[in-house]
Amino acid sequence: MRLVLVGPPGAGKGTQAQFIAEHLSVPKISTGDIFRANVSSATPLGLQAKAYMDRGDLVPDDVTIDMVRLRLQEPDASQGFLLDGFPRTVPQAQVLDDILSETDGSKLDVVLELVVDSEEVVRRLSGRRTCRTCNHVWHLDFDPPTVEGTCDLDDGELYQRDDDQAETIQNRLEVYELSTAPLVNYYAGRGVLVGIDATGPVDDVTERAIDALRPLEHSPKRPSHGAADLPPLPDGG
Ligand SMILES: [Zn+2]
């Protein structure tokens, strides 16, 4: 299955990406991982990207696109993939279509959107407290430390990162909404968008995602085994 995962900051996208990719037996391809891999192995694209980042500039679209193209042309992605972090815009979505059709004539099967309302995201993220010593992240509601303001692991001082301040979160959500809404509409118009409720426990969200994807799963090349392949039982009637 060729799948793109989208969702706002705080929707637990990274975690879900991992679980869903494992379930589908496809590689999880995230732009963050691609960047780090290219920079650390000093590929020509990695060196270009690093030059921009070192100057504090945004990496231009065509560098990102070239990295994604090369990654999608690797053999492990030929039977499917889960893309996380790309595309972010409608023009990038069109480039992705071109990459797939140039590579092997394939098409995107589904865009899975994790839907979480903003209040829930703010509540989740603004409760986070990070240890200054070990960087462990506690949560005031879901995973509170025994002593307020102190890390259970090493007695380090807990603080709220800038990223986790309510106002910062609100801003990030607005930016996400503005940039992603057209992308989501684009995919909805093509009939490939599937949205799932991403509130509640992680396992429940994964289950909802898998249920939503099940009708789209087709694995003609993989020999399957299991109850589904057994001849139907005589119904005795
Ligand atoms: Zn600590």
Q: What is the pLDDT of residue 16?
A: 94
Structure pTM? 0.79
178 φ/ψ sector (left φ>0, alpha ψ -120 to 50, else beta): alpha
Q: What is the pLDDT of residue 119?
A: 86
The strand pairing partners of 120, in sequence order, are none
For residue 9, the domain's CATH number is 3.40.50.300
- Report the number of distinct structural domains present in the chain: 1
Q: What is the pLDDT of residue 188?
A: 96
Q: Is there a domain that residue 178 lies in?
A: yes
Give the residue numbers spanning the domain of 224. 2-26+79-126+164-229
Q: Is there a domain that residue 71 lies in?
A: no
Q: Is there a domain that residue 135 lies in?
A: no
pLDDT by residue for the chain (237 residues), tens only, comes to: 999 999 988 888 889 999 999 999 999 999 989 999 999 999 999 999 999 989 988 889 999 999 999 999 999 999 999 999 999 999 999 999 999 999 999 999 999 999 988 888 888 889 999 999 999 999 998 899 999 999 999 999 999 999 899 999 899 888 888 888 899 999 999 999 999 999 888 899 999 999 999 988 865 444 444 444 444 444 443
Q: Is there a domain that residue 35 lies in?
A: no
Q: How far is the CA of 164 from the centre of ligand 1 (A)?
A: 18
Tell me which residues are annotated as active site.
Answer: 13, 88, 128, 161, 172
Q: How far is the CA of 157 from the centre of ligand 1 (A)?
A: 7
Q: What is the pLDDT of residues 36-86, one digit of tens each?
A: 999 999 999 999 999 998 998 888 999 999 999 999 999 999 999 999 999
Report CA-CA distances (Å) from 208 to 14, 60, 156, 160.
16, 35, 37, 31
Q: How far is the CA of 130 from the centre of ligand 1 (A)?
A: 8
Q: How far is the CA of 86 from the centre of ligand 1 (A)?
A: 33
Q: What is the pLDDT of residues 16-31, one digit of tens each?
A: 999 999 999 999 999 9
Q: Is there a domain that residue 14 lies in?
A: yes
Q: Is there a domain that residue 47 lies in?
A: no
Q: Is there a domain that residue 100 lies in?
A: yes
Pick the closest to residue 83 from 91, 71, 75, 66 (CA basis). 71
Q: Is there a domain that residue 37 lies in?
A: no
Q: What is the pLDDT of residue 218?
A: 66
CA distance 115 to 197: 5
